[in-house]
Amino acid sequence: MTSRHAFGGPRRLLLLACAGILGWIATAPAVGLGASPQAVVTFHSGPVGVIKDDVLRVNVTNLNATTQQAQIQVVDEKGSTHGITNFTLPAGQTGFFDVPFSGIVGRLMVRARTQCTNNLFLVSTEIYDANTLQTNLTLSRNDIIFGDVAQFAAVGITETETARLAVANLGATTAQFTLEFMEKDGTVIESAILSVPPKQIGFLDHDGNGVLGRKVLRATGGAGAGKAEMSVEVFDTLTGRTRYIEQDNLID
């Protein structure tokens, strides 16, 4: 089966308490500001079933200050490789690797393995429909907190969808939060500074109006002080129905 990869230089809020549909297992935990990057880190997605016309996409973001290397491999239930690639990722940029399953019959179990040069990477996996280009499932549970800034793994949206970065203030006083959406090359395309009262929720939206195909973006959320929980979701712009939740993140 062939595979392809690309690399670019790019209602009511439902907050879920669960960590995600399937977790990411990494050899290193989330790291804080100033932590030393470890040697080689491997991220594994949990096994998931795909059917005809599904596409598995692995997103990788390099949070290092220098260009780094990464390798992605997608294998099936019998250990056969369906796609493999090597990335050279400049600092602050996101690459992605697509493995289409256009020729399979029935249901096939697959998983992804991503090997990075150190632990300062964000890795996420999506399953999207080759016809509508809409994501049906996300396997991501990889995020990193640098000091008071939550770094979320990349997501994809289409013309009819909106990405939302939300923050719940879990503290006892009003707190200020800086929310941003970025292109895959690290360019900020949407930002806001919100003052959120205690026990309330603030959010920043970026809609896919004008998007051709799929748009790759990622989000960051900064908390000046206090305790907060953040999440990224994608919902149908017209109906407001949540399509999937990317992940949640706690800053304490």
pLDDT tens, position by position, for the chain (252 residues)? Answer: 334 444 433 333 332 223 332 333 333 333 443 446 778 999 888 889 999 999 999 999 999 999 999 999 999 988 999 999 999 999 999 999 999 999 899 999 999 999 999 989 999 999 999 999 999 888 865 667 766 788 899 999 999 999 999 998 888 999 999 999 999 999 999 999 999 999 999 999 999 999 999 999 999 998 877 788 888 999 999 999 888 886 566 666
1 in a domain, yes or no? no
pLDDT, residue 27, reads 32
Enter the tokens of residue 117.
């040069």
188 in a domain, yes or no? yes
133 in a domain, yes or no? yes
- The tally of domains found in the chain comes to 1
Enter the tokens of residue 10.
């790019």
Residue 66's H or E segment, with its range, is none
119 in a domain, yes or no? yes
Query: CB–CB of 35/28 below 8 Å?
Result: no
84 in a domain, yes or no? yes
Q: What is the residue range of 54's domain?
A: 12-251
Residues with Cβ within 8 Å of residue 188, at least 6 apart in sequence: 180, 181, 182
